[in-house]
């Protein structure tokens, strides 16, 4: 249910507008497929970034640069990486990179596809998927199928890994061909001089747009659900930069995210106020400064499991950012929301697995109702409803918005998503409600939304309800599960 930040802007110069349109045309197939993608200069500047989740903003360009540092990619080459030590943010997210050969050097084109999320029960990263450092995957447009087969045969490799890589490879190679072809057209400015001028224009335009943001300083704190680790944020906005200072945040003992994921979440949360008007590139990103002490919850070493951090820390950090902005400008206040999906993992015999997510509703503002089934800071990695309907493992019995789950008020919150299915085979179900396990409060006398919940209806009609942070349930043939996210909080006293 994540919504991408679309990099569109009415630039003051025709040159900048042309660059923006060019990048969108080059990457159109990747973006249409729902993949995050980027164009990055080998020297380090991000020219264009289409992000589908907060962590993409910080991690996708870095993953491309790290892979190129080791492999020195040329046109027709392909590399893959998902190791958080090399710029990724979880093992269920794979970054694939190629190079486009322009008249004065190469640029990198990177994209990212998602697989089934696995949340480690004991916090070990290697139980969340197969770890891949920067690895060459193709030369002269020819895939190394022996290597692909070796990865696909790993017990924690995602299903249909080969098919996913082949699709992404074709789209990446086509994007590179488009960029190379356009760079050789008469009068083309797709070169280092043109890119430098483009980034200068983008930086100037963003500085003028900074006036739309509230200026000032605010302090907020929050604790991570389930671990109680404290996050302290001092947010400062002035005419030229946005500074996030996390001094005083607790050390990472049970949960955490990488520093690049923290950067992306901070940028995503501020950009949401300007969505539709702001591109993402180095000239814009350099206006954001994040200070997160090493080994804290927000700059954890990528050795322990990270999926829990993505599910718990990222939405909390986003909510804290919005709270700080509301302290600076009261017009930005809104009721609370869980901010991230609930998640269940079904493990069947013979290693078969299925992951499902249910999105929460968002909180209302003084002038707008909340949005239904929208997780502002989640990673979109769930099985589609169409694939569930075709599944031989279960029978889908309900899917959609759970009416009445949101808080009531002058402006009601957004209702949460509901998914229900009956099992055709026995399975172990692991659920993770995350922030949805807590009741979401309303604001200004508005009512809170209902908390997220998992309900099991046994084959004999017996019902069991689960609303804790996480747990495990054994299911048999004929048992039905029903789970939903938390409803968004309302604004104002109900009429």
pLDDT of residue 353: 80
**Cα–Cα distance list, 337 to 312, 327, 360, 366, 471 (Å):** 13, 17, 7, 15, 22
Q: How confident is the model at residue 255 (pLDDT cuts 50, 70, 90)?
A: confident
**Least confident window among 18-27, 132-141, 385-394:** 385-394
**Which residue intervals of the chain bear CATH 3.30.450?**
14-205
Q: Going by C-beta distance under 8 Å and a sequence separation of 6 or more, which residues neighbour residue 490?
A: 335, 363, 364, 370, 406, 407, 408, 409, 410, 411, 412, 413, 442, 443, 446, 447, 448, 449
**Cα–Cα distance list, 74 to 129, 132, 138, 234 (Å):** 29, 20, 10, 43
Q: What is the chain's mean pLDDT, rounded?
A: 90
Averaged over 441-449, what is the pLDDT? 94
At residue 193, the 3 state secondary structure works out as: helix
- Please name the fold of domain 14-205: Beta-Lactamase (3.30.450)
pLDDT of residue 240: 86
CA 67 to chain centre: 21
With contact defined as beta carbons under 8 Å apart, do 38 and 48 qualify? yes
As a whole number of angstroms, the distance between CA 412 and CA 407 comes to 6
Q: How confident is the model at residue 119 (pLDDT cuts 50, 70, 90)?
A: confident
Summarize pLDDT for 340-350 with one digit per residue, the tens: 888 888 989 98
pLDDT of residue 481: 97
CA 29 to chain centre: 19
pLDDT of residue 1: 35
pLDDT of residue 76: 97
Pairing outcome for strands 353-358 and 342-347: antiparallel
Q: How confident is the model at residue 40 (pLDDT cuts 50, 70, 90)?
A: very high
As a whole number of angstroms, the distance between CA 231 and CA 246 comes to 7
Structure tokens at 27: 């990457």
Asked whether residue 2 carries a pLDDT value surpassing 50, the answer given is: no
With contact defined as beta carbons under 8 Å apart, do 111 and 102 qualify? no
As a whole number of angstroms, the distance between CA 366 and CA 331 comes to 8
At residue 433, the 3 state secondary structure works out as: coil
Structure tokens at 325: 């902005």
Q: How confident is the model at residue 239 (pLDDT cuts 50, 70, 90)?
A: confident
């Amino acid at each position: 249910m994540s919504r991408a930040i679309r990099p569109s802007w009415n630039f003051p110069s025709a040159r900048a507008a042309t660059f923006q349109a060019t990048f969108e045309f080059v990457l159109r197939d990747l973006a249409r497929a729902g993949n995050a993608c980027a164009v990055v200069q080998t020297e380090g500047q991000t020219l264009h970034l289409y992000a589908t989740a907060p962590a993409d903003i910080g991690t996708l360009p870095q993953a491309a640069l790290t892979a190129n540092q080791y492999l020195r990619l040329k046109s027709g080459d392909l590399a893959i990486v998902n190791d958080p030590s090399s710029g990724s943010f979880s093992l269920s997210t794979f970054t694939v990179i190629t190079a486009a050969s322009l008249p004065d050097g190469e640029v990198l084109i990177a994209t990212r596809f998602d697989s089934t999320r696995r949340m480690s029960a004991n916090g070990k990263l290697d139980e969340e998927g197969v770890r891949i450092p920067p690895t060459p995957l193709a030369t002269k447009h020819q895939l190394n199928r022996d290597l692909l087969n070796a990865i696909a045969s790993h017990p924690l490799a995602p299903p249909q890994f080969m098919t996913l890589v082949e699709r992404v490879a074709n789209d990446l190679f086509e994007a590179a061909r488009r960029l190379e072809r356009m760079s050789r057209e008469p009068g083309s400015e797709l070169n280092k001089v043109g890119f430098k001028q483009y980034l200068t224009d983008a930086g100037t335009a963003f500085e003028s747009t900074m006036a739309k943001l509230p200026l000032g300083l605010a302090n907020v704190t929050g604790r991570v659900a389930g671990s109680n680790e404290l996050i302290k944020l001092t947010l400062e906005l002035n005419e030229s930069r946005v500074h996030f200072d996390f001094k005083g945040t607790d050390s990472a003992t049970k949960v955490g995210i990488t520093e690049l994921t923290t950067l992306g979440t901070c940028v995503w949360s501020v950009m949401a106020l300007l969505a539709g008007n702001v591109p993402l590139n180095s000239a814009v990103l350099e206006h954001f400064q994040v200070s997160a002490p090493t080994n804290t919850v927000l700059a954890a070493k990528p050795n322990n499991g990270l999926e829990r951090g993505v599910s718990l820390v990222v939405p909390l950090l986003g909510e804290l950012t919005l709270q700080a902005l509301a302290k600076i400008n009261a017009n930005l206040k809104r009721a609370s929301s869980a901010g991230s999906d609930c998640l269940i993992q079904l493990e069947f015999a013979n290693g078969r697995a299925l992951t499902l997510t249910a999105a929460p509703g968002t909180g209302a503002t003084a002038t707008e109702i909340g949005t239904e089934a929208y997780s502002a800071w989640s990673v979109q990695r769930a099985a589609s409803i169409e694939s569930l309907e075709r599944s031989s493992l279960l029978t889908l019995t309900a899917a959609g918005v759970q009416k009445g789950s949101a808080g009531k008020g002058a402006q009601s919150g957004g209702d949460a998503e509901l998914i229900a299915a009956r099992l055709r085979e026995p399975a172990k179900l692991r659920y993770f409600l995350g922030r949805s396990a807590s009741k979401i409060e309303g604001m200004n006398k508005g009512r809170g939304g209902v908390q997220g919940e998992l309900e099991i209806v046994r084959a004999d009609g017996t019902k069991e309800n689960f609303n804790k942070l996480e747990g495990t349930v054994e299911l048999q043939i004929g048992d039905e599960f029903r789970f939903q996210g938390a409803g968004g909080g309302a604004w104002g006293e109900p009429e």
